[in-house]
Protein backbone atom coordinates (compact mmCIF):
# COMPACT_ATOMS: atom_id res chain seq x y z
CA UNK A 1 0.00 0.00 0.00
CA UNK A 2 1.13 3.53 -0.69
CA UNK A 3 1.63 5.75 2.36
CA UNK A 4 1.45 9.14 0.66
CA UNK A 5 2.45 11.12 3.76
CA UNK A 6 5.66 9.16 4.27
CA UNK A 7 6.17 8.56 0.51
CA UNK A 8 6.64 4.86 1.19
CA UNK A 9 5.21 1.55 0.07
CA UNK A 10 4.14 -0.66 2.99
CA UNK A 11 3.67 -4.41 2.76
CA UNK A 12 0.13 -5.04 4.03
CA UNK A 13 -0.45 -8.63 2.87
CA UNK A 14 1.98 -11.29 1.69
CA UNK A 15 1.32 -14.82 0.52
CA UNK A 16 4.21 -17.26 0.26
CA UNK A 17 7.85 -16.73 1.12
CA UNK A 18 8.44 -13.85 3.49
CA UNK A 19 4.91 -13.61 4.86
CA UNK A 20 6.25 -13.96 8.42
CA UNK A 21 8.46 -10.90 8.30
CA UNK A 22 7.44 -8.68 5.37
CA UNK A 23 4.07 -7.41 6.60
CA UNK A 24 4.61 -3.91 7.92
CA UNK A 25 7.97 -3.40 6.17
CA UNK A 26 8.37 -0.06 4.42
CA UNK A 27 10.31 0.96 1.33
CA UNK A 28 10.76 4.31 -0.43
CA UNK A 29 7.87 4.75 -2.87
CA UNK A 30 10.05 6.12 -5.65
CA UNK A 31 12.53 3.25 -5.83
CA UNK A 32 12.52 0.02 -7.75
CA UNK A 33 9.95 -1.46 -10.05
CA UNK A 34 7.12 -1.24 -7.50
CA UNK A 35 7.92 2.47 -7.15
CA UNK A 36 7.79 2.91 -10.92
CA UNK A 37 4.44 1.08 -11.11
CA UNK A 38 3.03 3.19 -8.25
CA UNK A 39 4.23 6.42 -9.88
CA UNK A 40 3.23 5.60 -13.46
CA UNK A 41 0.01 3.73 -12.69
CA UNK A 42 0.99 1.18 -15.36
CA UNK A 43 1.50 -2.58 -14.95
CA UNK A 44 4.87 -4.12 -15.74
CA UNK A 45 6.41 -7.54 -16.38
CA UNK A 46 10.14 -8.17 -16.11
CA UNK A 47 11.38 -11.63 -17.10
CA UNK A 48 15.03 -11.05 -16.13
CA UNK A 49 15.44 -8.74 -13.16
CA UNK A 50 19.24 -9.06 -13.20
CA UNK A 51 19.24 -7.30 -16.57
CA UNK A 52 16.72 -4.58 -15.68
CA UNK A 53 18.24 -1.27 -14.49
CA UNK A 54 15.06 -0.24 -12.65
CA UNK A 55 15.26 -3.29 -10.35
CA UNK A 56 16.63 -2.24 -6.95
CA UNK A 57 18.57 -5.33 -5.87
CA UNK A 58 19.51 -3.82 -2.49
CA UNK A 59 15.82 -3.47 -1.58
CA UNK A 60 15.18 -7.09 -2.58
CA UNK A 61 18.20 -8.30 -0.61
CA UNK A 62 16.89 -6.51 2.49
CA UNK A 63 13.81 -8.77 2.35
CA UNK A 64 15.94 -11.95 2.22
CA UNK A 65 14.33 -12.92 -1.11
CA UNK A 66 15.71 -11.82 -4.47
CA UNK A 67 13.35 -12.79 -7.29
CA UNK A 68 14.42 -13.56 -10.84
CA UNK A 69 11.25 -12.15 -12.45
CA UNK A 70 8.16 -10.25 -11.46
CA UNK A 71 4.80 -8.99 -12.54
CA UNK A 72 3.43 -5.83 -10.95
CA UNK A 73 0.20 -3.87 -11.32
CA UNK A 74 -1.04 -0.75 -9.57
CA UNK A 75 -3.97 -0.96 -7.14
CA UNK A 76 -6.11 1.92 -8.39
CA UNK A 77 -9.38 3.12 -6.93
CA UNK A 78 -11.15 6.40 -7.67
CA UNK A 79 -8.23 7.41 -9.94
CA UNK A 80 -5.77 7.12 -7.02
CA UNK A 81 -2.97 4.61 -6.73
CA UNK A 82 -3.48 2.80 -3.42
CA UNK A 83 -0.47 0.53 -3.82
CA UNK A 84 1.08 -2.16 -5.97
CA UNK A 85 0.28 -5.85 -6.41
CA UNK A 86 3.40 -7.88 -7.19
CA UNK A 87 3.80 -11.50 -8.22
CA UNK A 88 7.36 -12.70 -7.83
CA UNK A 89 8.79 -15.53 -9.92
CA UNK A 90 5.52 -16.47 -11.61
CA UNK A 91 5.85 -19.38 -14.01
CA UNK A 92 7.17 -18.35 -17.47
CA UNK A 93 3.83 -19.15 -19.15
CA UNK A 94 2.01 -16.92 -16.64
CA UNK A 95 4.04 -13.88 -17.64
CA UNK A 96 4.56 -14.62 -21.31
CA UNK A 97 1.98 -12.44 -22.99
CA UNK A 98 -0.09 -9.30 -22.89
CA UNK A 99 -3.07 -11.46 -21.92
CA UNK A 100 -1.47 -12.37 -18.58
CA UNK A 101 -0.50 -8.77 -17.90
CA UNK A 102 -4.08 -7.72 -18.65
CA UNK A 103 -5.31 -10.45 -16.29
CA UNK A 104 -3.01 -9.19 -13.52
CA UNK A 105 -4.17 -5.59 -14.09
CA UNK A 106 -7.81 -6.72 -13.98
CA UNK A 107 -7.17 -8.64 -10.77
CA UNK A 108 -5.43 -5.58 -9.29
CA UNK A 109 -8.51 -3.45 -10.09
CA UNK A 110 -10.71 -6.03 -8.37
CA UNK A 111 -8.33 -6.19 -5.39
CA UNK A 112 -8.38 -2.39 -5.10
CA UNK A 113 -12.19 -2.42 -5.13
CA UNK A 114 -12.19 -5.16 -2.49
CA UNK A 115 -9.74 -3.16 -0.36
CA UNK A 116 -12.14 -0.22 -0.52
CA UNK A 117 -14.91 -2.49 0.79
CA UNK A 118 -12.98 -4.23 3.56
CA UNK A 119 -10.96 -1.14 4.54
CA UNK A 120 -12.99 2.04 3.99
CA UNK A 121 -9.83 4.20 4.05
CA UNK A 122 -6.89 2.00 3.03
CA UNK A 123 -4.63 5.05 2.72
CA UNK A 124 -5.20 5.93 6.38
CA UNK A 125 -4.29 2.39 7.42
CA UNK A 126 -1.12 2.55 5.30
CA UNK A 127 -0.20 5.88 6.88
CA UNK A 128 -0.66 4.42 10.35
CA UNK A 129 1.60 1.52 9.33
CA UNK A 130 -0.85 -1.09 10.58
CA UNK A 131 -1.15 -4.48 8.99
CA UNK A 132 -4.54 -5.87 8.08
CA UNK A 133 -6.01 -7.80 10.98
CA UNK A 134 -8.67 -10.43 11.52
CA UNK A 135 -11.27 -10.78 8.80
CA UNK A 136 -9.63 -8.05 6.69
CA UNK A 137 -6.36 -9.99 6.64
CA UNK A 138 -8.17 -13.23 5.78
CA UNK A 139 -10.03 -11.51 2.92
CA UNK A 140 -6.78 -10.04 1.56
CA UNK A 141 -4.99 -13.39 1.78
CA UNK A 142 -7.92 -15.10 0.04
CA UNK A 143 -7.56 -12.56 -2.80
CA UNK A 144 -3.83 -13.25 -3.01
CA UNK A 145 -4.47 -17.01 -3.02
CA UNK A 146 -6.97 -16.61 -5.85
CA UNK A 147 -4.44 -14.66 -7.87
CA UNK A 148 -1.79 -17.31 -7.28
CA UNK A 149 -4.17 -20.03 -8.53
CA UNK A 150 -5.06 -18.02 -11.63
CA UNK A 151 -1.43 -17.29 -12.47
CA UNK A 152 -0.40 -20.91 -11.95
CA UNK A 153 -3.30 -22.02 -14.16
CA UNK A 154 -4.98 -24.03 -11.39
CA UNK A 155 -7.89 -21.68 -10.69
pLDDT digits (tens, 9 = 90+) for 88-127: 887 776 556 677 888 888 888 888 887 776 665 555 544 4
Would you say residue 129 has pLDDT above 50? Answer: no
Asked if 35 contacts 66 with a C-beta cutoff of 8 angstroms, the reply is no
Residue 89 confidence (pLDDT): 84
Query: What does the CA dihedral 14, 22, 152, 56 come to, rounded to 10 degrees?
Result: 130
Residue 139 confidence (pLDDT): 72
Residue 128 confidence (pLDDT): 45
Find residue 73's DSSP bridge partners.
85
Q: Going by C-beta distance under 8 Å and a sequence separation of 6 or more, which residues neighbour residue 22?
A: 11, 14, 63
Over residues 20-76, the pLDDT tens digits come to 788 888 999 988 999 999 999 999 988 889 998 889 898 888 888 888 988 999 999
Residue 72 confidence (pLDDT): 92
Task: State the helix-helix crossing angle for 134-152 and 98-118, rounded to 10 degrees.
Answer: 170
Q: Which helix (H) or strand (E) holds 109?
A: helix 98-118
Asked if 108 contacts 86 with a C-beta cutoff of 8 angstroms, the reply is no
Residue 122 confidence (pLDDT): 52
Residue 93 confidence (pLDDT): 63
Residue 127 confidence (pLDDT): 46
Residue 88 confidence (pLDDT): 86
Amino acid sequence: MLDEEADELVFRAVSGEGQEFLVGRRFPAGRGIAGWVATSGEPMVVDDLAADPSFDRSLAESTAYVPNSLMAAPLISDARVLGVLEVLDASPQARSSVRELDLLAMFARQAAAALRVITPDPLAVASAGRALEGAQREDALRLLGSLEQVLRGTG
